[in-house]
Amino acid sequence: MPSAHYQPLELRADDNDEDDLLEEGLLEHCTIETDVQPNGRIRYHPQPVDELRSIGGMTAPRFSRAASSGMRRFLFVTLILLPICFLIYFVISPQSQDSEDADGDVDPHNGIGNTIGIALNEPLHICSERYEDHRLYIDDKPRSAYAQLPVIYFVTPTYPRREQIPELIRLAYTLLHVPRLHWLVANDREGCDNFLDMQLNGFGIPYTHMASPMPREYRKVKPAPRGVANRRAALQWLHQHNLTNGILYFGDDDNTYDLRLFSEIRQTQRVSMFPVGLIAEYAISGPVVRDGKVVAFLDSWVAGRRWPVDMAGFAVSLSYMSQYPNVNMPYKPGYEEDLFLRSIGLRIEQIEPRGKNCTEILVWHTQTKNKKSAVVRLENRFMDERSNLGALFRLLERMGVARASDTEGLLATISKNGKSKTHSYFLN
C-alpha cells in the first residue's frame, strides 16, 4: 500500500516563511484526513503494533474484520486522492524544496532535489516495542519528577556484527540515565533478532525495535548507504504515530554521549546544532558561532554540502519537522545529513547553537574496531552442562560474537598454573 499514512500534518499558524507557504499550498491539495490533535500533543496509540502491522503491509495476521469495511472505504478514498496529490506535487511544484539559499549562492545540489521529493514509504517491521517506562528512579529522582519534559526520540541504526550487542549494552547504560526517552533501535537485517528483543526489554527504557534491512539494490553499491534504511524506518515510525511533540536525535550505537547533551537537545525549538568530536581530519565538526548565531561550519569535508554536519551534531523538534510532509533521507552516502536538513526547509538563522554557543563537546564519534566473529576449536562433546563453556559459547553465538567448532578455528587453550592441558583433562 502506498503512502496512505503519509498525511501531511497541520501547519503551525505562527510560521509563514517561504518554504512553509509552499508546503501550505501542498497541504491544501493533499490533505486527505488528519487525525492530529489540535493541541499538538502526542496521540496515544493503544494498539500501535497492530496498527503498524496492518498499515505497513508487512503482515496483517491480527487485522480485525470489524474494522475492515471502514478501512476499505478509507483505502478507496485514499487511492483516488493519492495520484491527484502526486500529480499536483510533481507537475505543479517541481523541486520546490531546493531553491537558492539565503545568500544567493548557487545550489550545488541541482538534480538531487528530485530524490528529496520522493516520499518515505518504508514497510515497517516492528519486532517488539514498549511504551511504559519501567525505571523507578532516574538519577535519584522518581520517574514522575520528569513527567513534564518533552520526549527525546533517540534513533539508533545498528547492524549485525561481532560488536553489536556490546555496543548497544554500553549505549543502554548511558540512556538509562536519561528520563523521558523513547529508544528507536532499527536493525539492518531481514528478520527480527530475538536476542536483541530480550536485551532491549530488559533495560526498562521505552523502546521500539524494528528490522529495517537495506534494500537489495543498495547493498552492492560502494560506498553503501549504511544506516539510511534504518533512519528512514524510524522517520516513518514517527510519522505514522503523528508525533508533533518531542525531539528527534540520531544517535549511533558506537558514539560516546555526555549526559549534558540530553538536557541541551531537549530545549530544541526547531533545529539545534553542536560540535561532534573525533570527526575526520580535524577531529571535530560543528558550527562556527558568532554573537550567539551560527554563521558557518567547520568540517574537513565540504563537498558542496549546505549543511556539512555529522548525524550526531543536530537535533530536530517534532513540532517543527511535522510541518514538512516531504521530510526525507535519500540513499546518498555522505549527504544524508545535508539532504535530510534540506527536506525540512532549514535556514541558517533558525539554528540554535547548543553547548555554550558550541564551545563544549557533548558527543564523540568514537569507533570500535570491527573484527570478524571468532571461531574457537572446542570439541562439541564438551559443550554440555559439565562446565560453563557450553552455556557461554551458546550465548556468544546468539550475540554474534563467537562460536565453538569441532573442526574449525583456533584450538582453545585451557590452562592451570601456567600449563595448558588437553580439553578432556578439565572437561571430561
Binding-site positions for Mn(2+) read: 254
Instruction: Give the whole-angstrom CA distance, residue 93 versus residue 389.
Output: 64
**Phi, psi (deg, nearest 5) at residue 257:** -115, 125
Question: Which 3 state secondary structure label does DSSP give 398?
Answer: helix
Of residues 190 and 291, the one with the C-beta less far from ligand NAG: 291
Listed in sequence order, the DSSP H helices in 204-294 are 216-219, 228-240, 260-265
Question: Which 3 state secondary structure label does DSSP give 289?
Answer: strand
Kindly state the smallest distance separating residue 237's Cβ from ligand NAG, in Å: 33
Return the residue of 73, 141, 356, 386 that touches ligand NAG, per CB under 6 A. Answer: 356
Total residues found in the chain within this entry: 428
By CB under 6 A, residue 350 contacts ligand NAG: no
* β-strand partners of 377: 405, 411
**Phi, psi (deg, nearest 5) at residue 322:** -70, -10
CB 256 within 8 A of CB 364: yes
CB 117 within 8 A of CB 109: no
Instruction: Give the whole-angstrom CA distance, residue 425 versus residue 409.
Output: 21
CB 245 within 8 A of CB 326: no
Kindly state the smallest distance separating residue 260's Cβ from ligand NAG, in Å: 12
CB 369 within 8 A of CB 363: no
**Cα 368 to chain center, whole Å?**
19
Site for ligand NAG in 104-163 (CB under 6 A): none
Return the residue of 46, 104, 111, 292 that touches ligand NAG, per CB under 6 A. Answer: 292
Of residues 274 and 324, the one with the C-beta less far from ligand NAG: 274
Active site residue 337: yes
CB 322 within 8 A of CB 9: yes
> Minimal CB distance to ligand NAG: which residue?
292
Of residues 64 and 267, the one with the C-beta less far from ligand NAG: 267
Kindly state the smallest distance separating residue 359's Cβ from ligand NAG, in Å: 8
Q: List CB contacts of 177: < 8 A, sequence separation 6 or more.
A: 138, 139, 259
Of residues 357 and 405, the one with the C-beta less far from ligand NAG: 357
Site for ligand NAG in 358-377 (CB under 6 A): none
- Which of the following is catalytic: 24, 337, 349, 408? 337
List, as one string, the DSSP characters of 152-221: EEEEEEE--STTHHHHHHHHHHHHTT-SSEEEEEEESSSS--HHHHHHHHHH-S-EEEEE-PPPHHHHSS
Annotated binding site: 254
Quick one: angle between helices 18-30 and 68-87, nearest 10?
A: 130
Kindly state the smallest distance separating residue 351's Cβ from ligand NAG, in Å: 13
By CB under 6 A, residue 291 contacts ligand NAG: yes
Query: Which of 319, 248, 243, 315 shows the shortest CA–CA distance to 13?
Result: 319
Of residues 62 and 356, the one with the C-beta less far from ligand NAG: 356
Of residues 357 and 368, the one with the C-beta less far from ligand NAG: 357
Run of H or E residues at 273: strand 271-273
What is the Cα gyration radius of the chain? 24
Kindly state the smallest distance separating residue 59's Cβ from ligand NAG, in Å: 49
Return the residue of 263, 357, 368, 373 that touches ligand NAG, per CB under 6 A. Answer: 357
CB 288 within 8 A of CB 298: yes
Of residues 186 and 294, the one with the C-beta less far from ligand NAG: 294
Kindly state the smallest distance separating residue 321's Cβ from ligand NAG, in Å: 24
Kindly state the smallest distance separating residue 315's Cβ from ligand NAG, in Å: 16
State the number of binding residues for ligand NAG (CB under 6 A).
4
By CB under 6 A, residue 35 contacts ligand NAG: no
Which residues of this chain interact with ligand NAG, rule CB under 6 A? 291-292, 356-357
The set of catalytic residues is: 337
